[in-house]
Amino acid sequence: MFGLIPKEESFFELFEAAAKNVHEASLQFLEFLKEFNDLNERAKRIKDLEHAGDQITHETINRLNRTFITPLDREDVHELICRLDDIVDLIDTSVSRMVLYKIKEPTQDALALAECLRHATAILVEAVTLLRDMRNAKEILKRCVDVHTQENEGDRIEQHALASLFENHHDPVFIIKWKDVYQEIEAATDRCEDVANVLEGIVLKNA
């Protein structure tokens, strides 16, 4: 009889794989901006990471559908993996837009936003790794606060970037292109905060 009841499967390795994939995408994005050469090839590397993130997400959802008992609430499992995937999607979109718009060189504000994103995703890797043991609740929550700090910094940088666009440039096409790119990058930092919010909710339910 007990053999008929699906055993609990661990989702933590999938969360960790997704978080590491997100961080790797942020690193590749920062390198994309710093080097700013072989753009199509560098964009392909990020696209590959986006595909890898999709595969992890699909595997997690498939596993969720096969599993009778889950280590976390089912809605939390789904929300966490999807919000992690969103970050990579937005990084990929940012890169695709820059290639499509034939951006000639990155701005300092774009680099600052990418650095902010790198910091946030590194913190998420730590937080997700700690999720295996709820005795780490305080440490997880501390890292969630750190992610919120990075998101606030991303907001500040985006506002500075937009102000600079309108103050220092007169070409409307240039302004439209960069406004779009800035908003996509900053949206990725917003999704980092979304992941932190999910983690906070999980801790409050389970610690």
CA distance linking residue 102 with residue 205, whole number of Å: 47
**Taking all residues of the chain, what is their mean pLDDT, rounded to a whole number?**
94
pLDDT tens digits, 149-198:
999 999 999 999 999 999 999 999 999 999 999 999 999 999 999 999 99
CA distance linking residue 110 with residue 115, whole number of Å: 9
pLDDT the model gives residue 6? 52
pLDDT tens digits, 95-140:
999 999 999 999 999 999 999 999 999 999 999 999 999 999 999 9
CB atoms within 10 A of CB 45: 17
Q: Give 126's contacts (C-beta < 8 A, 6+ positions apart).
A: 143
pLDDT the model gives residue 68? 86
Does pTM top 0.85 for this prediction? yes
Question: Which tokens belong to 80?
Answer: 């966490």
Class of domain 8-206 (CATH, top level): mainly alpha
pLDDT tens digits, 131-151:
999 999 999 999 999 999 999
pLDDT the model gives residue 3? 45
Q: Are 89 and 50 in contact (CB under 8 A)?
A: yes
Instruction: Please compute the mean of the pLDDT values over residues 47-71 and round it to a whole number.
Output: 94
pLDDT the model gives residue 9? 60
Going from N- to C-terminal start, the domains of the chain cover: 8-206
